[in-house]
Amino acid sequence: MRKILVTGAAGFIGFHLCSRLAEAGDTVTGLDNLNDYYDINLKKARLEQLEERRNFSFIKHSLEDREEIDALFRKEKFEYVINLAAQAGVRYSLINPYSYVDSNIYGFLNILEGCRHYEVKHLVFASSSSVYGLNTTMPFSVHNNVDHPISLYGATKKSNELMAHSYSYLYGIPTTGLRFFTVYGPWGRPDMALFLFTKAILEDRAIDIFNNGKMKRDFTYIDDIIEGIIRVTAHIPESNERWNGNAPDPASSLSPYKINNIGNNNPVELMKFIEIIEECLGKKAKKNFLPLQPGDVPATFANIDDLMNDVGFRPATPIEKGIENFIKWYKDYYGE
């Protein structure tokens, strides 16, 4: 039985992860600030389910609160930390950039300091496919350079990877960054395409289709994401003794540091994605075609060779099954 801190516990991924860890018998502390970036009632509903478990406890704090985070680490002496809390969303980073620096930079520094001073065995943290930015070599590999993000959100996630590496190098903290690829499924975020499209179609409103529909995303089902996180958490990284500063590998280091992609390794065209939603709903969408939005990329595609080599796992949930599961949850939750 492990003692684990999960930040962002009321969020989409955090909720599912806490459920799975608590079910497995781990002692889980969930931290979240319950901000209003999207419907807070959805976050509270997730927490209500989590708080039914005996080995789960919830604390409401912001990552940016340096004293509170330090006190929490000092009191609880966590063995593992899984940092999922962040200000999410590419497009929102154009509207409120300061929230990204507060949560994703200052907040993450407080997590690193907690791990440094209180002997955490392994820090696993959420990165994002957004770090790939202007990269066009497909599929995206963790061994590729990612120095050209095209959104502040992506830049903060790249910053997290750099900050984690420096702490791993300086203080020997084992750290693993996970680049998630378009996560979807039951209890998903209301600002994500599947939720937005489902809601609009049921309400007879037009859906916004960016880049005139010429988009591809490596949609990854939530259960696959959670399985990947759990396996990676148990796989504590070690120094890559073959690492060479003359030809540096961005995915590993002389320090105990690793980067992995978690994606379905199977990009789906946006128009196909919409067709599947229409089939599951038994209703056609009204479509509003728009140009590519600032910060967006036309396609994502995860190379998951390292994930397979490290923990022997490959996400494999078919998009048809994943969307069907989401729509069933949506109708049940909202009484549609």
Sign of CA dihedral 55, 227, 219, 89: positive
Task: Report whether 317 contacts 225 (CB < 8 A).
Answer: no
Please report which residue ranges of the chain form alpha helices under DSSP H: 12-23, 40-50, 66-76, 97-100, 108-117, 152-171, 193-202, 222-234, 270-281, 305-311, 319-334
User: Which residues have a Cβ under 8 Å from the Cβ of 123 and sit 6 or more positions away?
Assistant: 80, 81, 83, 111, 112, 115, 164, 173, 174, 175, 176
Residues 10-21 as b/e (b if ≥16 CB within 10 A, e otherwise) read: bbbbbbbbbbbb
The Cα–Cα gap between 85 and 186 comes to: 19
Task: Report whether 80 contacts 233 (CB < 8 A).
Answer: yes
The Cα–Cα gap between 19 and 131 comes to: 28
Any idea what DSSP says for residue 246?
A: T
The Cα–Cα gap between 125 and 84 comes to: 6
Q: Are strands 216-217 and 206-209 parallel, antiparallel or unpaired?
A: unpaired
Task: Report whether 160 contacts 118 (CB < 8 A).
Answer: no
Asked if 37 is an active-site residue, the reply is no
Active-site option among 153, 184, 221, 257: 153
CA 325 from chain centre, in angstroms, equals 19
Q: Which residue has the tokens 């148990």?
A: 234
* Catalytic residue annotation: 153
